[in-house]
Amino acid sequence: MTDTKPQPGMKEYITIWIGLLCIVGIETFLTTLQLSTHRLLAALLVLSFIEAGIALLYFMHLKYEKPNLFWSLVPAVIFVLFMMNHLWPDAYRMLSLRVPIQ
């Protein structure tokens, strides 16, 4: 009962590791730019999801397992995380309910 596809060697892992470090570098560089909070958040989240995807597929070998493992696990997590976003309007309601600072 083993994995279905041949897995990468250390050379590929080191390349992926360097790529992940580069993404962290880009994230940090973005922080030094005078971006608005929302733009910075959006950019950091996109880069974080790319990083997580790479780690999931290569470091955690999901790319090399049977596809039904991926389809059994990942869509469910994404669905749950997506459903949490329905609470966002309440965060902005909190902002509009605040007493204005004099």
Partner 1 sequence: MSESEMTLQAGHAAALEPSPYGIQSKKLTMWLFIISDAVTFGAILFGYAYLRAGTPDWPTPFRFSSGIVNGLVMTFVLLTSSLTMLAAVVAAKQGRKSSCLLWMSATIVLGIIFATLHLREWFHMFAEGWSLSKNPLGGPVQFGATFFSITGLHLMHVISGIIALIVIASGYNTDWLDAGHVETTGLYWHFVDLVWMFVFPLLYLMNTAR
CB-neighbour burial class of residue 58 (10 A; exposed 0-12, middle 13-18, buried 19+): buried
2 is a site residue for partner 1 (CB under 8 A)? yes
84 is a site residue for partner 1 (CB under 8 A)? yes
* Selected binder of partner 1 within 6, 21, 42, 102 (CB under 8 A): 21
DSSP state of 58: I
CB-neighbour burial class of residue 95 (10 A; exposed 0-12, middle 13-18, buried 19+): exposed
20 is a site residue for partner 1 (CB under 8 A)? yes
57 is a site residue for partner 1 (CB under 8 A)? no
91 is a site residue for partner 1 (CB under 8 A)? yes
